[in-house]
Amino acid sequence: METYTDCKPFIDNPNFKEDRRNILDNLEVGGIDPLLVPLVQKINRLPYVFSLQCCHGHFLWKNGQEIKTLEPLETNKWVTYRLAYIALCIENSSLGRRLQQRLMNIPLFINQDNIQFCSAQWFWDQWPNSYGLQIMPERFKAFDSALTTYAEAREIAKIRDACFAYLDEFVTNISNQE
C-alpha cells in the first residue's frame, strides 16, 4: 500500500467542519492502539484539525507473532515492521497552516532519516489537506511494512516512542496556549 507522497499544498476545503464532525461523531476509540488514545483525544480537541487514522507500529516475527517487547537479544533474525503513523486532516486556516509548519519540523528535531511528514493520496482523495507523520526508515518510506534486522527494529522502536512522546508534548503545549 502506498503511504507516502510529498506534502501537498493546502487547498480550499469548504467541507472541513462537516468532515470533522462526521469523523469525530463516528470515532471508535476501541479501534485505536491503546498507547495512542490520549494523543488522538488531545489532537481532536483542537478545532482546526482531526485525526483520520493511526497506528503505533508493530513488530512481527517471521511466523506472524507480534513481538511485545524488543529486549536486547543476541539475534540475527529478521523482523517485519508495520508502519507507525498518525494521519491528520488540517483546516486551511492561519492556525491550521501554522500547525502544519510545526509538524513538518518534527523530523528535524527527532530523526529525519526515519520520520517523514507527508501526504497520502488515498487520504487526500477523501479529505483534502490530509497529512501524515510516519516513522519508517527512509529507504522504506513508501511502504506500510518493511523487513528489518532485529537490531534495526530496536532503533526504530526508540525513534517511534520518541516521536509520539514529542508529538504528545507538542499537542499539550498547543492546547495550553489556546
Structural domains in the chain plus CATH codes: 16-177 (3.30.1960)
Q: Distance (Å, rounded) from C-alpha 27 to C-alpha 47? A: 16
Q: Distance (Å, rounded) from C-alpha 177 to C-alpha 166? A: 17
Of 134, 144, 146, 158, the closest CA to residue 71 belongs to 158
Q: Distance (Å, rounded) from C-alpha 126 to C-alpha 156? A: 30
Q: Distance (Å, rounded) from C-alpha 58 to C-alpha 38? A: 19
Residue-level pLDDT at 136: 97
Cell matching residue 24: 469525530
Residue-level pLDDT at 75: 75
Q: Which residues of the chain have pLDDT under 70?
A: 1-3, 72-74
Cell matching residue 153: 527494529
Residue reference for cell 492561519: 94
List pLDDT tens digits, range 89-122. 999 999 999 999 999 999 999 999 999 999 988 8
